[in-house]
Every structure is written in structure tokens, then in C-alpha cells.
Amino acid sequence: MFSLHGARDGCTNRKEAMNKLSANIFGAPSDTAVAMRLIRGLTGNDAISREEWRNLYRHTVGSEYSAHQYLMKHLTGRHYSETDSIKLWNGILHHKIELTCALDRDPGFFVAALDYLSNKSPKNNGADYILVAEDVLIRCMEMSLLDGLTGLFNRNAAMKMMEKTIEGVRRKNGCFALLMMDVDDFSEINSEFGHIGGDEVLVQIAHIIGQSMRGMDIVGRYGGDEFLALLPDADSNVAIEVAERIRRAVESDVFKEKQVTISIGVAVFEANGVSMKEYIQVADEMLYKVKNNAKNSVLISSIYRNTPPLVK
């Protein structure tokens, strides 16, 4: 794991240190411009959707933290006082406008924050803003890989990692399993507890899923209340064992004084060159069947079985 201190060795100024830091994180040449080339290609223009911004404000309701504090926490991963949060946010926002005019395109908040903080005098209020800029870089990297709510891999990152893993399984003539998971009656949970309550349920279930996986497994949030997991080198028995472990853990937990259940579609394959989309389609079909049959169950379609069994 790199450290900022290592990145600063032999550097004569903050910009040089940030360039070297960027090279350590992204593997880019150390003379690459810090802000634009690295982060634009990694996260796109912004990496924060309008819905995510609204969620940040929504979570401030009844909280001890203000909207500005949540915004700065989202950008840097650090907590600031209300006064410092407003000051930093206004500085970043103004700098974003300047960059937009200079570049004739919107660079996004992460890029603006990185460029603003990496060039800000560390003598200002005694703060070493290069440390904060490092946090912004790490947040950019995390935002490109992780789901902002659950902390699991986001869909794009999970799919890419799964494709690479399947290719490795294919070279060994092995097999693997896909688990497509969906929270039962999630719309009712949202109706009863609101979207914030629904988010809390998703976070708790994501934690259970993550804790139930083997060390080699890959799990991500597929979208909404759906989760996708890849189990390399897993036959039907292993796949059922993991899926049942998840199902039982969710069923036995209590979410806001309410029992919540999960349905899981499982498919076991030989890595034979079929596309990722086709693999997922089979697991999704199993999930669809179990959702329309019993819910709170596991349904598996296996290369080793002709008849998909229902497990509960």
C-alpha cells in the first residue's frame, strides 16, 4: 500500500508530489497533469449523479451534520466543521466554474476538488491540503469501483472483475457459479419505512452477503435491490451451501423490527466461452422462477443436473 510520505520523497513542490502520488495510484507517468487526464478517464465528467446529490441532502434530515458537511465527506472522506465545510465547498465550486470556462467543458466535482486542494496553500489555517487531495484521489478510485450506498463493487466494476475471473477459470477447464439475489417485497419496505429505511435495509443485507462469501468470491450490487455474486471453482454443492448461508442469515436477522427475506437464483457453468450476458441470463431466469414461486428460497440450474431443484 502506497503512502503519501513515500510519494513526497524527492519532490520539491506540491504539484510534483501530487503527480507522483497520482502515478503511484493509477500507474500513470509521473509527469502527467494531476487533475484532468487521470480522473476524467477514470470517473467520467462527475461520478456523482443528481440522484446521489439529492441523497446526500436527504440524509441530513434529522442528522447532526449539515448538507455542506455531507458534501465534503462525500468528496474527501473526511469530516469538517460546518464553517470549514462551507469555506471548502465554496472554494471548490468557484474553482469548478473557473475550470469549466477555461476548458470549455465541465470537469466534474471530483476533478475540481482535486485540482483546487492540490494547489491550495498548506499554510492556510495550518491545514495540509495535499493530504486532503490524496483523499480525493482515493475517493475517485473508490467511486469508479464501489457502489456508493452498500460499499460493494458497483455493477460495472463487478462485471469486469467477473469476466476476468471467468477467463481464468476457463483456462483451467473449471466451473463457476453465479448467484442473482433479490430482496423480497422491497417496494413494501420502501413504502413502510421510506427510502432512507429501504437504503438501511440494503446496506445491512449487503453486509450479510459480503460476510457469507468465500475469500475468492466477487459480489456487487447489480441494481436497485439486486445483488450478483460470482463463485469461482464452485460446483452445485458449494453454490447451494453459500446461497443457503446467505438466505438463512437474512431470514434470521431483524431489519427495523421487520423480518426481511431474500430470493436467490443460482446457475453453475463450465467456463466454455459463453458471454457474460448469457451466463447472467440463466441465473436471472432462476431468480424469476423462485420469485414467482415460493420466495425466500434458492433455485439452481446446474450443468450437473437436468431438473433445477428448489432449496429452502
Percent of the chain residues topping a pLDDT of 70 = 64
155-311: CATH, from 3.30.70.270, 3.40.640.10, 3.40.190.10, 3.90.470.10: 3.30.70.270
Residue 155 has pLDDT above 80, yes or no: yes
Is 31 among the residues known to form the active site? no
Q: Mean pLDDT score of the chain, rounded to an integer?
A: 73
How much is the average pLDDT of 199-210?
Answer: 92
For residues 289 and 296, give the distance between their C-alpha atoms in angstroms, rounded to a whole number. 12
Would you state the pLDDT for residue 266? 95
Q: What are the tens digits of pLDDT across the range 243-264?
A: 999 999 999 987 877 889 999 9
Name the pTM for this structure: 0.58
Domain boundaries, the chain: 4-145, 155-311
At 118 the pLDDT is 67
Task: Quote the pLDDT of residue 276.
Answer: 86
- 303/280: higher pLDDT: 280
Please give the residue that has the higher pLDDT: either 303 or 166. 166
79-105: average pLDDT:
80
Active-site annotation holder among 225, 235, 253, 284: 225
